[in-house]
Structures are given as C-alpha cells and as structure tokens.
A and B are shown apart, each in its own frame.
Chain A
Amino acid sequence: MLAQRAITGGELPFLGSFEDIDLADLLAALGRGRGGTGRAAMPVKGRDFETGITLTLADARQGTTVKLNLQDGAGERVLEVTVPPGTRQDQKLRLRGKGGKGQHGGPDGDIYLHITLAPHPVFRPDGLDLYFDLALTPWEAALGAGVEVPTLDGPVLLTIPAGTRSGRKLRLRLRGRGLLANQSDIYAIVHIDVPTSLTESERVLYQELARISHFNPRATTPKENPT
C-alpha cells in the first residue's frame, strides 16, 4: 500500500522509501495521475491464427468440411469449417472474428487458411483451370482423330484437328462442375509420341512416307553463319 500520503488526481505519488510498495497500487496511482480517475485498458484485438490445409482436387472444386485445431491461451479448440467450392492452389481464405477473443472490447482475431492442393495423377491446376498431357500418335496428329480424354466427370471424346503440332493447347470448354460450370476449362497439352520399336511393315511405311513427303520441320530455322 502507498501509505505515505493520499494521492489525488493529477498528483504523482511521493515516495520517501521503496519499502512496503505494492506494484499494483503504484501502477494504479500512475494511471490516476494521467487520467484523473484511472485509465481504461486499451482494447486489444484477439490473436489471429494462420494454418494450412491440403485438399484433394475434387474437394477443392466441390467444397468440403475440415476440422481446424486451434491452440491459444484458453487451450485447444476444434473448429469445423466449410471450405467453399472453387478454392485454388495457394489461395488464402480469411474467417473473420473466429480467432482468439479480443480483450477490453477489442475485436476477436481472424483465421487465415492457406490452401494447398494435393498432386493429382492426371490434372495440374492453374487457378480454376486444369491441364493434362495428351499423348498422340504421329498419324493422329497429322490426320486428326477423335480421342477419349479424362475429365473430373469421366471421359469425353475430344476432336483432334488435322495438323495438330506438339505443344498445342486444346481446350475443353467449361468442363467444371457445379458452381464452377461457367468458370473452369480443361486444357490438353499435346505431346506427339513415336514408337520406340517398329515392325517391318511399319518401317516400310515410314520409309515410304519419308520418301514422298516434302515436309521439313527445320525449313524456317535460320542457317548458321559458318564464319
């Protein structure tokens, strides 16, 4: 207790000795000295939580429910939250006011959720779009063809235009599901593959093609200057 003298508003305590001083009384006295009747505690925002989850591609597109384990001074709590459909790789979602409790009238904290997508065996996501590799035979690429390709809803027939080159991007429009139906495309990246071994008849046909074809893929390559 501060026993030496009574403290009035605006007056700092006179401390003749440090004996018998209670820190709480001292701080209270300092507060009265500044504010006259005591100082209100400052509002403090509650703690923000940052956490990450890994979703499958299907869950990210359809939406899913996940449980978040949050640990703070009050202990551990589990929050079950619904992740909205159409989340993307590296997306950050914020759940306002669901973090730690604010103090002295301060707002509650937020939860920040970092989304990671688990690798998919076929598709590579880019935003809401999906990419996959489409291997074609040389004759499918040259003549055009209808080939079965995967989508998240099952296989569909994709028309390959004649003269398709390796590296070309073919789009299956609006193959997203549900809420993503008008926002998401699937792209096939064409890769022309060749057989590593040929039967005799195949070899003969390729040799015949080589003989009669005038196609030269290096025709536009600038000639190297020998000097």
Chain B
Amino acid sequence: MSQEQTQQWRSSDNLDTISLTELSRCCGLTEDELDDLVTYRALLPVSPATPERVFSAQWVMPLRNAAKLRVDYDLDMFTVAILLDNLTRIEILERQVHSLQAQLPSHLRSDLSR
C-alpha cells in the first residue's frame, strides 16, 4: 500500500491548466483531433494567440466523456465538437443550479423538491 502526496493531485477545473499533450493523454484523442476541435471552436485554449496550446483543466472531464461516446457510437470529429459543446453547457448549467440551490433558503428549496 502506498500513500500519495497531496501535491500530486491535479484539479480538473478552471483553477488549473493543462497542455495539449497532457490533454490528449487524458482523453484518448490525438493532438490532431484536439486541434480539429479547436478549429471547430468547440475547444478553446486559454490564450489562442500563443503558439503552444494550453487549456483550462475543466475540459478534461467533458472531453473524456465525449471521447467515450465517440468510440461507443463511432462519431466523426464534427459530431464530437457538437457533443462537447453540449456536454460543456450541461456542466456549466449544473454548476449554476447547484450554486443557486445553495443560496436559496431551505424553506424554498423544499418547496421546489415537491
């Protein structure tokens, strides 16, 4: 049994960034395929002007999900781009719902769940 150190964890959210190579390693898409998604504007680098591509780590999970669905349903990259866009929107909306629920007084939240 081994104990891992705290600093080895990487957060998959907007507080961390990830290189194109590492993103490719995480999601199972090639760097060329990720470049396609950038071309389709479904995947946005942190700073599009710089030659080396760096991305927010919040792309990791939606890209992994999109890559899985791509394999399952034999999707082309343009469809993956549309899928990624929708998966990202869902994640943003889920975060917003959670944030609003936290700010809503308890008596109103229980009314909503009925």
Contact = CB atoms under 8 A, between A and B. Distances in A.
Interface string B60-90: 1100100000000000000000000000000
B43 to A, nearest CB: 17
The bracket for how many chain A residues form the interface is 20 to 34
A63 B102 contact: no
B41 interface: no
Interface string B26-52: 101000000000000000000000000
A189 B64 CA distance: 38
B19 interface: no
Interface in B88-113: 94-95, 98-99, 101-107
A112 B5 CA distance: 15
Given A78-B1, A92-B61, A126-B103, A84 B6 contact: yes
A131 B10 contact: no
A90 B95 contact: yes
A89 B29 CA distance: 28
B106 A82 contact: no
A96 B12 contact: no
The bracket for how many chain B residues form the interface is 20 to 34
A91 B64 CA distance: 15
Contact of A94 (B3, B10, B28): B10
B94 to A, nearest CB: 7
Contacts of B101: 124
Nearest to B57: A94
B26 A191 contact: no
A92 B13 contact: yes
Contacts of B95: 90
Nearest to A84: B6
Interface of A: 45, 63, 65, 78-84, 89-96, 98, 107, 110, 112-113, 124-127, 131, 133, 167, 169, 187, 189, 191
Lowest 7 CB-CB distances: which A-B pairs, in order?
Answer: A126-B102, A92-B12, A124-B102, A94-B10, A81-B4, A84-B6, A93-B9
